[in-house]
Amino acid sequence: MTPDYDVIIVGAGPAGMASAITARQSNLSVLVLDDQPDHGGQVWRNIRQNQQHHQMRAFLGKDYWKGHQLTKDFLNSGSDITHQAVVWQISHPLSLSVTIAGIAQSLTARAIILATGAYERPVPLPGWHLPGVMTVGAAQTLLKASSSGADGAVFVGTGPLFYLTITQYLDAGFSIAGVCDTGARLNSLSTLAALPLALTQPNMLRKGLSWLRRIKAETPYYAHVSDIRLEGKEQVEAVAFAYGKGKTKENMHIPSSHVFLHQGVIPNVNLSMASGLAHQWHHRQMCWHPVCDRHGASSVEGIYIAGDAGGIAGAGAAVASGHITGAAVAKALTRATSPKRALWQHRIKRLHHRALRPFLDQFYAPLPETLIPRDENTIICRCEGLTQAEVTTAIGMGVAGPNQLKAYCRAGMGRCQGRMCGLTVQALLADHHKTPIQDMPYYRLRPPVRPVTIAELAALHQADHDISG
Amino acid sequence: MFRQLDTPSSEITIFWEDRPLSAYQGELVAAVLLRHGIHSTHHGQSTGSRGPYCMMGVCFDCLVDVDNQKAIQACQIIANDGMRLNRHMNMAGTGHTHDA
């Protein structure tokens, strides 16, 4: 049977769009499935609409508007594009189950590219489950998708997205009640060792420094923040924390009904894990990466990974990686080689963007108290409402790994399927068993990776029956 | 409370627990709710009140009931004129909602 498409790409962010453009240059038929309302991914979210209000929304900044050219090329590439399409399964040989407008269907392809991007590392602090506590990325999404923001918010965290979003908030004219910086630690040898490579990217370093200088000047800024608690009953009412170093450490309490958290981003691996791809623990980024070669080919034939879904390197690297993977897929399917010059340009660009990463990963490493929560009332599994005490009690009953833990306390069995608790559960188990974190497995994920109703499954079965019968 | 910097498109009305809310064509439902000060969209017996957290479809905490559909992520859907929304109540005692 002829496959429905040569290439199906999951995700219309920087990597997904770039790989579609390159695959189309070799005349392959391309379908892009994206779960958001429009293309752009998280980084260039809503760029089509925002472009029409360009002047009023200048606060989104230069890097945001850079996405315009790629999205234009993507729309002109001749790819079929479907939005609000939820992919929940990949089967072998290559077919993919997707729900579009409430209707499930099965599609086949000669190659599948997963460009599922990244999401923010869960931040299990006391009170992080309270309404009014959101991620910094969520605050930025509201700026991009709805040009709305909240006055008097408190930002807690660290990392490039943290400083960028605060800068966008300032440019948009929102008042900020506090910036609690948990990062920027130049105190380890490995951070210093990564600095020379980072110095090859002086413009990016300068940009980071100018954000920080401005934030320090224009907001109530607290450095070296730790011991964070989000307080409130039905919703968040205040942030309590300590700041400063050693003997100069002081306690602070800021009332606010909006708190935005950020501790970096991690690859979105639920679909790649549930599809049986091999993954490995990445020490510096403290998360799982799918195993793939430099072209993005995964451990499963015909499935490729492009962009941040394969490891965090940012939007610029994701575009280059998308082009590289698109060319690799074209070569595998048509034996056609892309123009060498263009390919080398993408490879050099990717190297260039990756140069800063080892430094960023370590300079903005997550705060230890968010990796292994010490407060026993902290919610670990948001879906099931399980606290640290409940999870550690279950672990203490002799649970060896994350899958067994499900049977003891239901951690990871809710709708998010471990996206919000997986890394924390892995860290708590490794800590309890005194096992190196990379030796403690993650949840075994199975499709469907998004909740699917029985009616959808029944309709899918009926459709398959109709085709084969 | 979230406020909008400009008015991007024509105004529509959606309903939260029968209360009319002004929204804009194309706006995410979760964004509309937040602009009207509605932070808690979902209540579970084992989880208490929850609301939008990630705004990108990964946390499943912004669940709402939309017209006749239960447990829909408010950050993943666009507001339509006349849409009727209700707080999603999960009284099953676990995070798994037993949808009709």
Tens of pLDDT, residue by residue over A266-282, are: 999 999 999 999 999 99
The confidence score (pLDDT) of residue A196 equals 87
User: Considering only alpha carbons, which residue of chain B is nearest residue A411?
Assistant: B95
Q: Does B82 touch chain A (CB under 8 A)?
A: no
Contacts of A257 in chain B (CB under 8 A): 1, 39
Size of interface A-B (CB pairs under 8 A): 144
Q: Does B91 touch chain A (CB under 8 A)?
A: no
Q: Which of B35, B46, B59 comes nearest A384 by C-beta? A: B46
The confidence score (pLDDT) of residue B98 equals 40
* The pLDDT of residue B96 is above 60: no
Per-domain residue ranges of chain B? 11-89
Q: Does B6 touch chain A (CB under 8 A)?
A: yes
| ∠ Cα A274 A279 A282 (to 5°) | 135
Window from A244-258, A374-388, B2-16, B84-98 with minimum mean pLDDT: B84-98
Residue A461: pLDDT band (50, 70, 90) is low
Residue B99: pLDDT band (50, 70, 90) is very low
Residue A53: pLDDT band (50, 70, 90) is confident
List Cα–Cα distances, A343 to A22, A112, A283, A312, A318, in angstroms: 10, 20, 29, 21, 14
Contact B6 A56 (CB under 8 A): yes
pLDDT, tens only, A145-165? 999 999 999 999 999 999 999
* The pLDDT of residue B100 is above 70: no
The confidence score (pLDDT) of residue A455 equals 82
* The pLDDT of residue A187 is above 80: no
Task: Give the type of residue at B79.
Answer: A
CA A362 to chain CA centroid, nearest Å: 18
Query: pTM to 2 decimals?
Result: 0.95
Contact B34 A42 (CB under 8 A): no
> A310-323: string of b/e by CB count within 10 Å (b at 16+)?
bbbbbbbbbbbbbb
Region B69-91: what's the mean pLDDT?
94
Distance CA A115, CA A318 (A): 9
What mean pLDDT value characterizes chain A? 94
Residue A72: pLDDT band (50, 70, 90) is very high
Window from A149-163, A174-188, A234-248, B43-57 with minimum mean pLDDT: A174-188
The confidence score (pLDDT) of residue A467 equals 46
Contacts of B63 in chain A (CB under 8 A): 415
Q: How far is A44 from chain B (nearest CA, A)?
A: 13
> A126-161: string of b/e by CB count within 10 Å (b at 16+)?
bbbbbbbbbbbbbbbbbbbbbbbbbeebbbbbbbbb
Q: How far is B91 from chain A (nearest CA, A)?
A: 12
A333: left (phi over 0), alpha (psi -120 to 50) or beta: alpha
The confidence score (pLDDT) of residue A468 equals 43
Contact B5 A145 (CB under 8 A): no
Retrieve residue A167's tokens: 């800068």
Q: Which of A53, A148, A384 comes nearest B94 by C-beta? A: A384
pLDDT, tens only, A197-208? 888 888 888 999
User: Is CATH 2.30.110.10 the classification given to domain B11-89?
Assistant: no
The confidence score (pLDDT) of residue B17 equals 97
Contact A234 B44 (CB under 8 A): no
The confidence score (pLDDT) of residue A277 equals 97
The confidence score (pLDDT) of residue A56 equals 85
Region A176-202: what's the mean pLDDT?
85
* The pLDDT of residue A440 is above 90: yes
Contact B53 A134 (CB under 8 A): yes
Q: Which of residues 318-347 of A touch B (CB under 8 A)?
A: none
Q: Does B18 touch chain A (CB under 8 A)?
A: no
Region A378-401: what's the mean pLDDT?
96
Contacts of A142 in chain B (CB under 8 A): 2, 31, 34, 55
User: Considering only alpha carbons, which residue of chain B is nearest residue A410?
Assistant: B94
Contacts of B53 in chain A (CB under 8 A): 133-135, 138, 382
User: Considering only alpha carbons, which residue of chain B is nearest residue A234?
Assistant: B49
Query: How many CA within 13 A on the CB side of residue A69?
Result: 4
> A244-279: string of b/e by CB count within 10 Å (b at 16+)?
eeeeeeeeeebebbbbbbbbbbbbbbbbbbbbbbeb
Residue A102: pLDDT band (50, 70, 90) is confident
Contact A415 B96 (CB under 8 A): yes
Beta bridge partners of A251: A242
The confidence score (pLDDT) of residue A194 equals 86
Burial class, A70, CB count within 10 angstroms (exposed 0-12 / middle 13-18 / buried 19+): buried
The confidence score (pLDDT) of residue A246 equals 82
Contact B96 A35 (CB under 8 A): no
List Cα–Cα distances, A74 to A5, A48, A326, B86, in angstroms: 17, 12, 13, 38
Distance CA A379, CA A232 (A): 14
3-state helix, strand and coil shares in percent for chain B, rounded to the nearest 5: 5, 40, 55
